[in-house]
Amino acid sequence: MNKLTIDQIDLAGKRVFIRVDFNVPMTENGTIREETRITAAIPTIRRALEKGGRIILASHFGRPEGKIMPEYSLRPVAERLSQLLGQPVALAPDCIGDAVEQMVNALQPGQIILLENVRFHAGETKNNPQLADAFARLADVVVNDAFGAAHRAHASNVGIAQRVTPAVAGLLMADEINYFNRAVRHPQRPVAAILGGSKVSTKIAVIERLLAQVDMILLGGAMAFTFFKARGQTVGSSLVEDEMLQVARDAEEQARARGVKLLLPVDAVIATSPSSTTTQIVSIDAIPEGWMGLDIGPATIQLFQQALQTAATIVWNGPMGVFEKPAFANGTLALAEAVAQCSALSVAGGGDTDAALRQAGVADRISFISTGGGAFMELLEGKELPGIAVLNDA
């Protein structure tokens, strides 16, 4: 994953096609609710402007399924980006076609155009060759800064990069690659992985991969109860994937064989349902029938905090409980504070993890928060991401 970056190539006077991720949440009246993905792309856009490029921005937004749908227009993004950059950002009427090519070719160095939603064309998600050819006609240079879409082989990130050279990483993409390498591929040890969430089935590939790379795994969230049931413990009405019991046993055995500490909760905050506000704190082996574990308890928080103090590198994916509910948020928020207080390199990824860190008010004290949930997970699983693989090697 040692790729050329925007800083290593000449952009003066060139048409610079920057694939960004402007798939931002919107309110019902069509205003931007949260603009992190827009602000995350600004350093790369500014760098391209500084280097004298003629800037073409491309992004998907929502799932219009290959149809032109006004509610999925990028117009609000173009307007907000104009404000943030302090210069006009024109919105093209489409992302390909003669009119768009004329607008792009008329760009002067330092000017910016935002193409309309690339998913208005069904060929985008199929990496259609004709669509990729049309994108390629707009570009002298390709810069991929959309890590959140890097696990998908689409026309606007992979197809175009197969047709235009150079194809390089933007500053955000370069950061994603760099921090992942530092945290997982070439880490300072000891390495601690925090894994949470509801299902073992969605995380087992990550668990198995990390067992070969880390020194300890702190495992919380509902998926811990599958491990407890696999041990023969009673878990009340807690969420369990019965089909994953043997997988959980195998993971514990693999951890023992490799000398990896696999820390599970020792107590839990329980209730009769996630919507209940009547809670108890009990030992993990004392959950009554009809009650379910919905957060880690104070003894587990202390256990995990102590473990993290020994770590030189921390990787985090997934909450410790149903943190969206105040009654079950304490474990995740306390762990977020613990990670923020550590001197370790800390890298977090996944939408819920990002949201929890911001809810805890510690996002600015985490070394790096990945902008891609699915892409971050696939990297943790050891998969090659097509949107990165296609870029030119340094």
Amino acid at 263: L
Distances (CA, A) of 155 to 136, 146, 205, 218: 10, 13, 28, 39
- Tell whether 315 and 194 lie within a shared domain: yes
3-state secondary structure of 221: coil
- Write the DSSP symbol of residue 44: H
- Tell whether 162 and 100 lie within a shared domain: yes
Whether 37 sits among the annotated catalytic residues: the reply is yes
- Tell whether 119 and 230 lie within a shared domain: no
HSE value, Cβ hemisphere, 13 Å, CA-based, for 358: 12
User: Catalytic pick from 62, 373, 374, 382?
Assistant: 374
CATH code at 21? 3.40.50.1260
User: Catalytic pick from 30, 351, 361, 383?
Assistant: 351
Q: What is the mean pLDDT of residues 19-30?
A: 91
Question: How much is the CA Rg of the chain, to the nearest whole Å?
Answer: 23
Average pLDDT score over the chain? 95
Whether 163 sits among the annotated catalytic residues: the reply is no
Return the pLDDT at 350.
82
Q: What is the mean pLDDT of residues 106-111?
A: 97
Return the pLDDT at 181.
93
Let me know if residue 352 belongs to a domain: yes
**Residue 63 predicted with pLDDT over 90:** yes
Q: What is the mean pLDDT of residues 65-71?
A: 93
In this prediction, residue 91 has a pLDDT band, given cuts at 50, 70 and 90, of: very high
Let me know if residue 390 belongs to a domain: no
Query: Do the beta carbons of residue 255 and residue 204 sit within 8 Å?
Result: no
- Tell whether 138 and 253 lie within a shared domain: no
Query: Do the beta carbons of residue 40 and residue 107 sit within 8 Å?
Result: no
- Tell whether 243 and 137 lie within a shared domain: no
**Residue 1 predicted with pLDDT over 80:** no
Return the pLDDT at 29.
84
Let me know if residue 391 belongs to a domain: no
Whether 52 sits among the annotated catalytic residues: the reply is no
Return the pLDDT at 373.
82
**Residue 351 predicted with pLDDT over 80:** no
Nearest-5° angle of CA 362, CA 366, CA 372? 105
Return the pLDDT at 222.
94
- Tell whether 141 and 254 lie within a shared domain: no
Report how far residue 200's alpha carbon sits from residue 312's, in angstroms, rounded to the nearest whole number. Answer: 26
In this prediction, residue 34 has a pLDDT band, given cuts at 50, 70 and 90, of: confident
Share of the chain above pLDDT 90, in %: 90
**Residue 340 predicted with pLDDT over 90:** yes
Return the pLDDT at 151.
96
User: Catalytic pick from 199, 209, 325, 358?
Assistant: 199
Return the pLDDT at 46.
98
Let me know if residue 182 belongs to a domain: no
- Phi and psi at residue 205, in whole multiples of 5°? -65, -35
Return the pLDDT at 372.
84
Whether 374 sits among the annotated catalytic residues: the reply is yes
- What DSSP string describes 280-333? EEEETT-PPTT-EEEEE-HHHHHHHHHHHTT-SEEEEES-SS-TTSGGG-HHHH
Q: Which of 174, 201, 226 is the last residue of a domain?
A: 174
Beta bridge partners of 292: 271
Let me know if residue 389 belongs to a domain: no
Return the pLDDT at 275.
94
What dihedral do alpha carbons 385, 387, 392, 394 form, nearest 10°? Answer: -50
User: Catalytic pick from 14, 15, 19, 37?
Assistant: 37
Beta bridge partners of 16: 55, 141
Q: What is the mean pLDDT of residues 223-240?
A: 96
Q: What is the mean pLDDT of residues 232-251?
A: 95
| Residue 3, token pair as written in the block | 């790729």
- Tell whether 337 and 252 lie within a shared domain: yes
Q: What is the mean pLDDT of residues 358-374?
A: 92
What dihedral do alpha carbons 108, 133, 125, 166 form, nearest 10°? Answer: -60
| Residue 16, token pair as written in the block | 């610079």
Helix, strand and coil content of the chain, in percent to the nearest 5, comes to 40, 15, 45
Q: Which of 145, 174, 203 is the last residue of a domain?
A: 174
- Tell whether 239 and 114 lie within a shared domain: no
Residue-number span of the structural domain to which 80 is assigned: 6-174
Let me know if residue 53 belongs to a domain: yes
pLDDT 10s digits, 153-209 = 999 999 999 999 999 999 999 999 999 999 999 999 999 999 998 888 888 999 999
Q: What is the mean pLDDT of residues 235-242?
A: 95
Q: Is the pTM of this model over 0.85?
A: yes
- Tell whether 207 and 307 lie within a shared domain: yes
Domain count, the chain: 2
- Tell whether 164 and 113 lie within a shared domain: yes
- Tell whether 220 and 303 lie within a shared domain: yes
**Closest to 75 (Cα-Cα) out of 10, 109, 24:** 24
- Tell whether 212 and 83 lie within a shared domain: no
In this prediction, residue 41 has a pLDDT band, given cuts at 50, 70 and 90, of: very high
Return the pLDDT at 106.
97
Q: Beta-carbon neighbour count of residue 310 at 10 Å?
A: 13
pLDDT 10s digits, 267-317 = 999 999 999 999 999 999 999 999 999 999 999 999 999 999 999 999 999
Q: Which of 123, 142, 174 is the last residue of a domain?
A: 174
**Residue 248 predicted with pLDDT over 80:** yes
